[in-house]
Amino acid sequence: MMSAQDVAAWTWSHASVVTLGLFSLACLLGALQLFRTWRRLRHIPGPFPACITNFHRAYWVTTKRAHLILQDVHEKYGEIVRIGPNTVVFSNPEAIPTVYTARTGFPKSEFYLTLQAYNPNSGALQAIFNTPDEDMHKRLKSPIASLFTPNNVPAYEGRVDEVLALLGARLDEQFLQHDRIFELGSWLQFFAFDVMGTLTFSKRYGFLETGKDVGRMLGTIKDFMRSSAPLTQIAWLDWLLRKNRVGDWLQRHFFTQASMGILGFVGKAIGEKRAALAAAEKAADTNAAAHGGKLGKDFLTHYVELQQNDPQIPPWAPTAWTFSNVIAGSDSVGSLMRTTVFNLLAYPHTLERLYEELRDSVDSSGSGSPFPAYATVRNLPYLDACVQEGIRMHPPFCLPFERVVPRGGVTVLGKFLPEGTVVGGSPYVVNRHRGTFGDDAEFWRPERWLEKGDEHKRKLEQSMLTFGSGRRVCLGRHVGIMEIKKLISFLVLNYDIRIVDPEKFEVENSWFFFQKGLYARIRKRSQTASPST
Ligand code: HEM
């Protein structure tokens, strides 16, 4: 008979053998899985860790310089590179029409789920910008698409003028005296947000009035983007950490749940708007005021009315539409304004040429005081070249725009990508493709848009990814460009602006491209002075 000691030893040795066996099996299955993962896209070159894990590219994002890392990676491995087990990026704009098609069937990846605001009661809020579901996208986009067409853009100009007047007044009273140095970039950001507030809710947020980030809204968006950016690379981690009741509770109690702050703001504005519209219905004479009077309806009035008049549209749609305006249409415009102004100041000969063009056009049209009409500046060649160059150099959304390869696979830049592969281009990298934009693509040179005729210009425009492309191209781009052209012409015509130290200008890529350090001095200029005098 076995003693108790023998039984224990026997059990122990058997348990060890079973554990060892299970461990070996797990290792074998893990290795097999890694091998299969590696094998699937082994024909696409890329850094080794990328073949087996997404943590590598999430780490790149945490450095806040993923755009530069991706540029290096393309430099080393070529125009099509594997950056994740199932993810491939391209740098040559020739791939744009293949990946960003006008048809359905090449949907957005899970990257975009991480940008959805989460509410434990109603789940994740899908917006036009961030839904990968193509049917949902169609449902959300169709009712409002016509509000954003180029023909409709002039309808918003009056509201932009209103905010420009305020910007001018604030710059005059704060910074003209004593040659004061100030961070012009913040004021451009305040302007962009107050314009979007006016266009969307008929209400400024008060950034320009106070010269501050009122209610910490800008800070909240930054927090949201900073926490979301690395998670865009590993969507399941976002689900685990934030998109469930437990994760959400922990975020709220121990971190900031920034998207909720924005949703709270949007929800309050919608409540106020519904109340104003209901009151206006009762009293016909206040109808004009609720609808924006001579300025026309704001976006939110359109959104609420569209939903009220069509039972097919879900009740949460106005929130989703408004969330898109606030998230997609404010920081982005401010960022392009800062890039364009920074480069004009850093390359004064381009500023001088722009000033001359604006002054001549205003002199001949008689529409210049205090800011020219959009019709006057809309098609000015050099202004347009400067704005295009700003759009090219510093895309405000700056990680690859990911799509999922449809059934049957697809060939991109000569490489076959099987069904289910995630593929995208970083706008920063694509916009600096030397074969397309020239050997000096790293530098600010608006002349590149003018020197080879209209057809070449159109080709360059189609080669940029700043606004995305194809079916999911930015809906608000015409509105954004109008704001930028109006702002630049106003500043250049009215002020002599000097940058204090271009080296102080810094950028941070947290999916949104944040910037700081645009220190400047301004003086009022007489209509005849040139920027260099
Ligand atoms: C001028 C600066 C702007 C830039 C650089 C910009 C950029 C972009 C980009 C890159 C996308 C999505 C691309 C993708 O994921 O593939 C997008 C989509 C979108 N943008 Fe903009 N945007 C700007 C201004 C605006 C404005 C002013 C609005 C609203 C008033 C707006 C509303 C939207 C909407 C609704 C979408 C979703 C379109 C869709 O998925 O069908 N954007 N934008």
Q: Is 51 annotated as a binding residue?
A: no
The whole-angstrom separation of Cα 429 and Cα 386 is: 19
Q: What angle do the packed helices 258-282 and 299-309 form, to 10 degrees?
A: 70
Residue 1: other Cβ atoms inside 10 A: 4
* CB-based pocket (< 6 A), ligand 1: 128-129, 141, 324-325, 328-329, 332-333, 336, 396-397, 401, 466-468, 472, 474-477, 479-480
Distance 333 CA to ligand 1 centre (A): 10
Nearest CA to ligand 1 atom 39: 472
Burial class (CB in 10 A: 0-12, 13-18, 19+), 348: middle
> Model confidence at 31, in pLDDT bands (50, 70, 90)?
confident
Nearest to 337 by CA among 291, 295, 387: 387
Residue 502 pLDDT more than 60? yes
Distance 529 CA to ligand 1 centre (A): 38
Nearest CA to ligand 1 atom 20: 474
Query: What number is the average pLDDT over the span 158-175?
Result: 95
CA angle 61, 67, 68 (to 5 degrees): 110
Residue 300 pLDDT more than 70? yes
Backbone angles phi, psi at 506, to 5 degrees: -125, 150
Residue 141 CA, closest ligand 1 atom number: 41
Where is pLDDT greater, at 116 or 405?
405
Residue 522 pLDDT more than 90? yes
Residue 306 pLDDT more than 60? yes
Q: Which residues are CB-contacts of 457 (< 8 A; sequence separation ≥ 6)?
A: 388, 449, 450
Q: Are 446 and 382 in contact (CB under 8 A)?
A: yes
Q: Which residues are CB-contacts of 120 (< 8 A; sequence separation ≥ 6)?
A: 245, 248, 249
Q: Provide the ipTM.
A: 0.98
Nearest to 306 by CA among 170, 470, 14, 315: 315
The whole-angstrom separation of Cα 258 and Cα 223 is: 6
How much is the pLDDT for 18? 79
What is the CATH code for 43-527? 1.10.630.10
How much is the pLDDT for 283? 58
Nearest CA to ligand 1 atom 31: 476
Query: What number is the average pLDDT over the span 221-241?
Result: 91
The whole-angstrom separation of Cα 252 and Cα 333 is: 30
How much is the pLDDT for 340? 98
Residue 364, token pair as written in the block: 């001949």
Residue at token pair 């180029």 = 150
Mutate to test the pocket of ligand 1, among 90, 113, 129, 336 (most ligand atoms within 8 A of CB): 129
Residue 479 CA, closest ligand 1 atom number: 27
Residue 403 CA, closest ligand 1 atom number: 16
Q: Are 130 and 116 in contact (CB under 8 A)?
A: yes
Query: What number is the average pLDDT over the span 145-154?
Result: 94
Residue 276 pLDDT more than 90? no
Residue 349 pLDDT more than 90? yes
> Model confidence at 296, in pLDDT bands (50, 70, 90)?
confident
Where are the domains positioned within the chain? 43-527
How much is the pLDDT for 9? 74
Query: What number is the average pLDDT over the span 267-277?
Result: 79
How much is the pLDDT for 362? 86
Nearest CA to ligand 1 atom 32: 476
Residue 471 CA, closest ligand 1 atom number: 41
Nearest CA to ligand 1 atom 41: 472
Residue 324 CA, closest ligand 1 atom number: 35
Q: What angle do the packed helices 477-494 and 348-365 form, to 10 degrees?
A: 90
The whole-angstrom separation of Cα 60 and Cα 65 is: 7
The whole-angstrom separation of Cα 504 and Cα 499 is: 10
Burial class (CB in 10 A: 0-12, 13-18, 19+), 102: exposed
Distance 424 CA to ligand 1 centre (A): 16
Distance 466 CA to ligand 1 centre (A): 9
Residue 450, token pair as written in the block: 């003018």
Distance 129 CA to ligand 1 centre (A): 7
How much is the pLDDT for 286? 44
CA angle 110, 257, 518 (to 5 degrees): 90
Query: What number is the average pLDDT over the span 171-188?
Result: 93
Distance 532 CA to ligand 1 centre (A): 36
Where is pLDDT greater, at 60 or 35?
60
Q: Which residues are CB-contacts of 223 (< 8 A; sequence separation ≥ 6)?
A: 256, 258
How much is the pLDDT for 368? 64
How much is the pLDDT for 39? 83
The whole-angstrom separation of Cα 156 and Cα 339 is: 23
Query: What number is the average pLDDT over the span 227-231?
Result: 93
Query: What number is the average pLDDT over the span 275-281?
Result: 76
Residue 193, token pair as written in the block: 């947000």
Residue 188, token pair as written in the block: 């451009």
Q: What average pLDDT does the structure give for the chain?
A: 89
Residue 14: other Cβ atoms inside 10 A: 10
Residue 392, token pair as written in the block: 């090219």
Query: What number is the average pLDDT over the span 308-314?
Result: 88
Nearest to 510 by CA among 95, 23, 114: 114
Query: What number is the average pLDDT over the span 209-225?
Result: 88
The whole-angstrom separation of Cα 110 and Cα 232 is: 8
Residue 528 pLDDT more than 50? no
Residue 129 CA, closest ligand 1 atom number: 37
Residue 388 pLDDT more than 90? yes
How much is the pLDDT for 294? 64
Distance 99 CA to ligand 1 centre (A): 18
pLDDT digits (tens, 9 = 90+) for 4-23: 777 777 777 777 777 888 88
Query: What number is the average pLDDT over the span 134-146?
Result: 94
Residue 277, token pair as written in the block: 């519209």
Amino acid at 448: R
Q: Are 497 and 176 in contact (CB under 8 A)?
A: no
- pTM metric for this prediction: 0.90
Distance 204 CA to ligand 1 centre (A): 21
Nearest CA to ligand 1 atom 9: 467
Query: What number is the average pLDDT over the span 470-494?
Result: 97
Distance 510 CA to ligand 1 centre (A): 17
Where is pLDDT greater, at 525 or 74?
74
Residue 459: other Cβ atoms inside 10 A: 12
How much is the pLDDT for 60? 97
- Residue 79's SS3 state is coil
Mutate to test the pocket of ligand 1, among 196, 474, 481 (most ligand atoms within 8 A of CB): 474
How much is the pLDDT for 282? 58
